[in-house]
Amino acid sequence: MSGEKDVRVITDEVISRLERGEIKFSEIDQAVGNRNLGTLIRRTYLERRYKVSLTSIGHTILDFEEIVGRNIENPIGAVQIPLGVAGPLKIVGENVVGEFYVPMATTEGALVASVSRGAKAVTLSGGAYSMVIKDGMTRAPLFRLPSIRKAREFVEWVKEHFEEIKRAAESTTRHGKLISIDPFIVGNNVWLRFRFTTGDAMGMNMVTIATDAACRFIEEKFPDADLIALSGNLCVDKKPNYMNVLMGRGKTVISETILKSDVVKQVLKTDVDSMIEVNNRKNLLGTSFAGGIGQNAHSANIIAAIFIATGQDVAQVVESSIAYTWMEKTKEGDLYVSVTLPSLEVGTVGGGTWLPTQREALTLLGVAGSGERPGLNAIKFAEIIAATVLAGEINLVAAIAAGHLARAHEKLGRKKM
Amino acid sequence: MSGEKDVRVITDEVISRLERGEIKFSEIDQAVGNRNLGTLIRRTYLERRYKVSLTSIGHTILDFEEIVGRNIENPIGAVQIPLGVAGPLKIVGENVVGEFYVPMATTEGALVASVSRGAKAVTLSGGAYSMVIKDGMTRAPLFRLPSIRKAREFVEWVKEHFEEIKRAAESTTRHGKLISIDPFIVGNNVWLRFRFTTGDAMGMNMVTIATDAACRFIEEKFPDADLIALSGNLCVDKKPNYMNVLMGRGKTVISETILKSDVVKQVLKTDVDSMIEVNNRKNLLGTSFAGGIGQNAHSANIIAAIFIATGQDVAQVVESSIAYTWMEKTKEGDLYVSVTLPSLEVGTVGGGTWLPTQREALTLLGVAGSGERPGLNAIKFAEIIAATVLAGEINLVAAIAAGHLARAHEKLGRKKM
Amino acid sequence: MSGEKDVRVITDEVISRLERGEIKFSEIDQAVGNRNLGTLIRRTYLERRYKVSLTSIGHTILDFEEIVGRNIENPIGAVQIPLGVAGPLKIVGENVVGEFYVPMATTEGALVASVSRGAKAVTLSGGAYSMVIKDGMTRAPLFRLPSIRKAREFVEWVKEHFEEIKRAAESTTRHGKLISIDPFIVGNNVWLRFRFTTGDAMGMNMVTIATDAACRFIEEKFPDADLIALSGNLCVDKKPNYMNVLMGRGKTVISETILKSDVVKQVLKTDVDSMIEVNNRKNLLGTSFAGGIGQNAHSANIIAAIFIATGQDVAQVVESSIAYTWMEKTKEGDLYVSVTLPSLEVGTVGGGTWLPTQREALTLLGVAGSGERPGLNAIKFAEIIAATVLAGEINLVAAIAAGHLARAHEKLGRKKM
Amino acid sequence: MSGEKDVRVITDEVISRLERGEIKFSEIDQAVGNRNLGTLIRRTYLERRYKVSLTSIGHTILDFEEIVGRNIENPIGAVQIPLGVAGPLKIVGENVVGEFYVPMATTEGALVASVSRGAKAVTLSGGAYSMVIKDGMTRAPLFRLPSIRKAREFVEWVKEHFEEIKRAAESTTRHGKLISIDPFIVGNNVWLRFRFTTGDAMGMNMVTIATDAACRFIEEKFPDADLIALSGNLCVDKKPNYMNVLMGRGKTVISETILKSDVVKQVLKTDVDSMIEVNNRKNLLGTSFAGGIGQNAHSANIIAAIFIATGQDVAQVVESSIAYTWMEKTKEGDLYVSVTLPSLEVGTVGGGTWLPTQREALTLLGVAGSGERPGLNAIKFAEIIAATVLAGEINLVAAIAAGHLARAHEKLGRKKM
């Protein structure tokens, strides 16, 4: 009781000091020595200043004592996003076998239902097979050299001193292992694209720190190379691009299935040829004519929903969602479908994965935390995501083929207005 | 008390029926006649089946009676994401004037702090000016014609019957107004790119339904045109692409500021020339060499965090985050900076914007719900987002210029491991 | 005789003056008052300086008195390129009907034969239908404005003063008609994409001059707009790009045919399904995964050979060759094929079209010089080119489908080694 | 005399047979046993059929007895294209040192003069430095596998059997050496991108034949892999693409220079800052916003003109002309300029390089035929081309900076109308 009173008193006092400019907004936590209290004060300050109520934002299980500095600054509470599960989805993959209910946090009506229907078709056809074919997180610092002659000399030097650079990089991390450095020269600009395995972490921070250490070593030993940017946009992080398509980033993962023609008919209410026609005209021709990267119907929907649910870096949806959906008829008249994701950036440790709800979502998939062997959980997780994208693609292409799209939206989406 | 007991009994019973296959997972709500109870049962079922705890996911203020079918299916609870505020950010825009604390939901440490520092530099320099230069949500159905002759005839016909098509489209919506139909012909494939204003809604569902009605009219009147896909991927929704860059989707919005050279020095700890050099080499040369769309440092970070916080369609981060960051020195030696977002898809009504925490986040910005005049709130919101991206770009480019990036990550990010 | 002696004497003398630095290489024509003689002297000078023989280059029917300044500077003679004809190719187009032998200047063995085989298949199936669906040459000057506010004001001003700008532009040309100005704003940069019809000329020079006049008017009336570049690379000239794909440049032209399944079998030695499979996997999936623009097998081969033969601007092969090849099975089991060329930049007057051999090549197609009505010949020419690309695509896809490619190259290409 | 009469008689006779359908157009050479005569007959036939004169085309030094089947089929004569020389251009490169007059075959007035002015600026500043940083011709066959599991197994198998595959490939060629095979998997599609060094030849035919042999070996040993296309469009040949930008094709070559600020002023009539501004706004920002690949002003102009002059495969201008032009100010206030060409496909033997005028053009540059050591001439040639592109870029950017472009076109281009 008296605690509550104190809280009110402290809050009023800190807000007064804020208003008088004696303290800055970013200094509140420090001033009161408690981040949960700081969160309350910030929220209250904003409520008063802007004459709004932020009560719902304040209702949260998050303990900001733990979170501030790791995942957020200047918190005022939390956002709550509905979490549904799509499934059951049978996966008979390289590292995961089982039936999964995939957690998807979204506010787009019909999405979870849509993926679930695709999952049903996949499951009835025997499941999806998923496989990670490439793995590695990248960071590409950009150096300025005095001339192209020096640029090439530099690139040669880097090749020759790979082991030393590796040592410098890995001195900063237990989990990151430098596996390659790919150089790119454009005039007097040199990018070195570092690629690391990062265990079960998505690894961008790990890799940034390790690359920074490597760059310090490089600059010291090769003084003609001036580091312009630790990230030179050839990494490529959080921008759509062909570098990641062709050279991979994070997991390069594929999932495939063969849908029985009668499943296409009974579950998806369309037929094999119609689905192939939609995929070819819309995804393969349409996307490319529009100057698009990837060829798919809506992989970003699935990626975004799973990323939010499981504490991934949501800005990476940009390139993680680049996907190539391929459909063809088998000799038996069934439908072969695959989705290829060249650049799926995911982790089961680090980032937002340890937050309470996110961690539970990963637990539901059996991939929370570190894997039996380092990296295994992240790989399993990638396999599950790819299979879920596969289900999502199957359903939307089928729905379009069946002319169902708009009607589904009318039914489920109308309520929103 | 007895209510709780009942819940347990019902839960056990429904789970038994699920296990015996007498009822399907997707039929639970219907079976128990209450979506909150259904949510509990689904969660409990998964907890038992997979031997996990989903307690945190169960702690939520969401009322699924309201939400299911509008925003989610098969819910099991909610995800909670830390919500911080970046600011204060001064905007002296076309439609918004004031100091803002911008809500960002993220799990990436350092992000809110980073944007806040950029905001400080902008604010000290007099603020950002933002402007929406184009507005309209699109949907591009794809038709198959018997020949290219018919394809052109079809396109001519559409032009001549624009008013009738408009009437058919608008019969489905109060807020959507059809403003143009851009045709694209590739062989016997014809895409009609419908563009609507959609008031304060992002409008994709509205536009899909309206386009569907238009297509029914078209197919009836021009029977040679077979609708293959209501969305033919020239819309373009949720895929990175140049169509939206060149022709816009949602809001095309720009924000600019002139950073005083001494602000660059004192707040950002670097100088004007160094920032320009980083922008030119990394963003303009680097991104493009990598086959990237857009030229920026990390606009997706800001867009994703605001989208999650405010109930936007997060999968649209893909194209909404495409941004062109431009920097140059003014005659006075200051730094002119602009960011151009060709395809920012946002709304203040519809989608997830009405959910409790998301709505509060919009309220904090003064843009929740419908605007004074239709569409004004969505435009204001776009102006604020662009200014926030501007702040984010300024800070990251400055941090790189100052070589601060890695050290910041070390300090703030280290805790995560 | 004495003429020849004089020539030798003059040549020696001029070369001596060149060697003594009394005259510059670029001043030779002026010094001797005759461009054919100048050509001889330049050639002789280079022969002596570099101790080489340039006799073949000297053998030419070109009269440099006419050509220098229009088509070339510093000439030393001419290059001779073998000219073959592909055909007969039946076209039943919008503006051209008949059987054509299409002139192709190339040094790539097998190319003309390859296109001829495709032409045979097309002809036996009833011919190709070609149609120009858009027409207009563009130039996009780039202006710097003081702010985005001014940028939009500028764009509004341009819209309002279109008629005056049109008058200024058209004052420089009899044939060019300004049809639209499309604005693009990126920060404080504004591009105005001028689009003109240009009669039978490809029209780039015409358009450049007219746009220059328009820009002078604009800069005078709207002094805040600083012209940075008369061509701001949104034209887009001689670079591969999506602007031209989506908005067209020159002729946007399509050609289609339906190949009878027995023609596929007998002439092309393969079958309909195999050709579709190759087109889908190689052209639609392969090109796009490689980050390619367009989806075709080798349209550039045909475009380049015709461009060289007919005096087009060969550097424009870059974007003129962007093509989308689409194949599908008809209900009757035949093969529908189309090629769509969004940006084919061609003319029948101006540029190199008046040179003797090039003009004859155009004459062979019945499209030399101005058309009956302005622009008709250029349109006819575009229709013929598109049909030839169609034939070329058909043959190569068929050859690949039949596994013939390598064997054809072995047979025809082996001789080269 | 009697010979001439005979020719007329034979011509009439063959044409009669053609008209009666007793012989096909493609069988003329065979019928008369002489390809020069065949050429005459084809030309005469077309002249009569289409009532045109092809006299100029008939005037040629080419001996079709030698050329047919190597470089052309169905020839009717030759096209003559004006050949100018740009220079003198000083190059102080890795493998070439000297002053060059670069042969350019073009019909675009002002082009040679423009490059010459750029060359002057380069030469006065001490010359250009050029360097080839990567070398290798590629061909990427496309295989269909039964599943992604098999696809990865296949890729592993290829890695393990590299030496055997190499042996199979190299059995077909003396000059081609297989240096790597890069695999790309998209669903059940596998591309193997073969990279060969090809001596002084551009090497596409060599590589196609060698890859075909490799594929036969592969298909025999790994029967689950079905070869769909010997070229699967990841090569990438004759289409604009990012694969070649990022991984190279042919020569990856860079040229750079530092232009003295007073040379910029006196020769180019502009200043360093203005040129940088044009390059940044037009080439770096403009091209990329337009969805362009590369960032340059007009590299295709130079590449096309040199390719025609020297017997290169002109359709390869498409990707060979992709260039990144970079400009920055040195500490001394001079202008650093570089051009980077990731994918310059050139040769000094094979293709059209042995034709009389083309060979002379190569001789003028000192790079005709095979180099002292295999491949050296082709590398030298690439260095010269890159330096010439550099000169061309410098001049055009300078001309734009000086507002000279339009006036130059008016002066030189006006004559054309």
Rg (CA), chain D: 25
Cα–Cα distances in angstroms (integers) from residue C364 to residues A206, B394, C84, C103, D78, in the given order: 67, 61, 12, 8, 14
Asked if C77 and D357 count as a contact pair (C-beta separation under 8 A), the reply is yes
What percent of chain B lies above the pLDDT cut of 70?
Answer: 95
Q: Which chain A residues contact residue C285 at CB under 8 A? A: 284, 295, 324, 326
Give percent above pLDDT 90 in chain C: 94
CB-count burial class (<10 Å; 0-12, 13-18, 19+) for D153: middle
Of residues B87, B209, B286, nearest to A406 (C-beta): B209
With beta carbons under 8 A apart, name residues in chain D contacting B280. 280, 284, 328
Tokens 């709304």 found at:
B347
In this predicted structure, what is the pLDDT of residue C93? 87
* B407 vs A contacts (CB less than 8 Å): 212
Q: Quick check: C153 pLDDT over 70? A: yes
The pLDDT, as a whole number, for residue B411 is 47
Q: Which chains touch A (3 or more CB pairs under 8 A)?
A: B, C, D
Mean predicted confidence (pLDDT) in B253-274 = 96
Distances (CA, A) of C261 to A334, C295, C399: 24, 23, 15
Contact B152 C129 (CB under 8 A): no
The mean of the pLDDT values for chain D is 95
Q: Which two tokens stand for residue A325?
A: 């959906």
> Does residue A108 have an active-site annotation?
yes
Domain boundaries, chain C: 2-67, 83-135+250-412, 141-229
- Beta strand segments in C198-334, E: 226-229, 250-259, 324-329
Q: Write the CATH number of the domain with boundaries C83-135+250-412.
A: 3.90.770.10
pLDDT digits (tens, 9 = 90+) for B186-209: 999 999 999 999 999 999 999 999
* CB pairs B-D closer than 8 Å: 37
What pLDDT score does A5 carry? 67
Reported as a single tens digit per residue, the pLDDT across B54-85 is 999 999 999 999 999 899 999 999 999 999 99
Average pLDDT over residues B281-286: 98
Q: Which of B29, B237, B313, B345 is catalytic?
A: B313
Q: What is the pLDDT of residues B124-137, one digit of tens each?
A: 999 999 999 999 99
Q: Which of D200, D237, D313, D334 is catalytic?
A: D313
**Inter-axis angle of helices A356-364 and A299-310, nearest 10:** 120
Could B76 and A85 be called an inter-chain contact, meaning their C-beta atoms sit closer than 8 Å? yes
CATH T-level assignment (fold) for domain B141-229: Alpha-Beta Plaits (3.30.70)
> Is residue A161 annotated as part of the catalytic site, yes or no?
no
pLDDT per residue as tens digits for the range D241-276: 999 999 999 999 999 999 999 999 999 999 999 999
Residue C143 above 80 pLDDT?
Answer: yes
- Residue C103 neighbours by CB under 8 Å, 6+ apart: C83, C84, C85, C306, C309, C310, C361, C364, C365, D76
pLDDT of residue A371: 85
Quote the CA–CA distance of A20 and B293 in Å, as a whole number. Answer: 45
pLDDT at residue C403 in the model: 81
* pLDDT given at position C157: 98
> What is the pairing mode between strands D226-229 and D142-144?
antiparallel
Q: What is the pLDDT of residues D362-375, one digit of tens each?
A: 999 999 999 899 99
B324/D285 CB distance under 8 A: yes
The pLDDT value given to residue C371: 85
Q: Which tens digits make up the pLDDT trace of C155-180?
A: 999 999 999 999 999 999 999 999 99
What does the pLDDT read at residue A183? 98
B359-385 confidence digits (pLDDT tens): 999 999 999 999 899 999 999 999 999
Active site residue D161: no
Contact B208, B185 (CB under 8 A): no
Q: Is the pLDDT of residue D335 over 90?
A: yes
Which one-letter amino acid corresponds to residue A82? P
Give the rounded percent of residues in chain D with a pLDDT score beyond 90. 94
* Touching partners of D (3+ C-beta pairs < 8 Å): A, B, C
Residues of chain C found within 8 Å of residue B256, distances taken between Cβ atoms: 147-148, 187-188
Is A238 marked active-site?
A: yes
Q: Which of B161, B221, B238, B269 is catalytic?
A: B238
pLDDT band for C407, please (50, 70, 90 cuts): very low
Structure tokens at A157: 């030097």
B360 phi/psi in degrees, rounded to 5 = -60, -40
Q: What is the DSSP string of D398-414?
A: HHHHTT-HHHHHHHHHG
**Average pLDDT over chain C, rounded to an integer:** 95
Residue of D280, D281, D293 to mutate when probing chain B, most B C-beta within 10 A: D280
Over range C32-51, report the average pLDDT: 97
Residue C408 predicted with pLDDT over 60 = no
- CA dist C363 to C101, C129, C356, D48, Å? 11, 21, 11, 13
Q: What b/e string do you get for A137-175 counting C-beta neighbours within 10 Å, with b at 16 or more?
A: bbbbbbbbbebbebbbebbebbeebeeebbebbbebbeb
Q: What does the pLDDT read at residue C412?
A: 55
Single-letter residue type at B192: L
C neighbours by CB contacts (3+ pairs under 8 Å): A, B, D
- Report pLDDT for C5: 67
* Cβ–Cβ under 8 Å, residues D224 and D367: no
Amino acid at position B40, single letter: L
For chain A, list residues with pLDDT below 70: 1-3, 5, 404-417
Helix axes D204-221, D162-170, angle to 10 degrees: 130
Predicted confidence at residue B245, as pLDDT, reads: 98
Q: Which of A399, A381, A300 is nearest to A102 (CA)?
A: A381
The complex scores an ipTM of 0.96
pLDDT over 70 (residue C3): no
Distance CA B58, CA C83 (A): 77
Residue-wise pLDDT tens digits, A290-300: 999 999 999 99
| Contact check, Cβ <8 Å, A148/D254 | yes
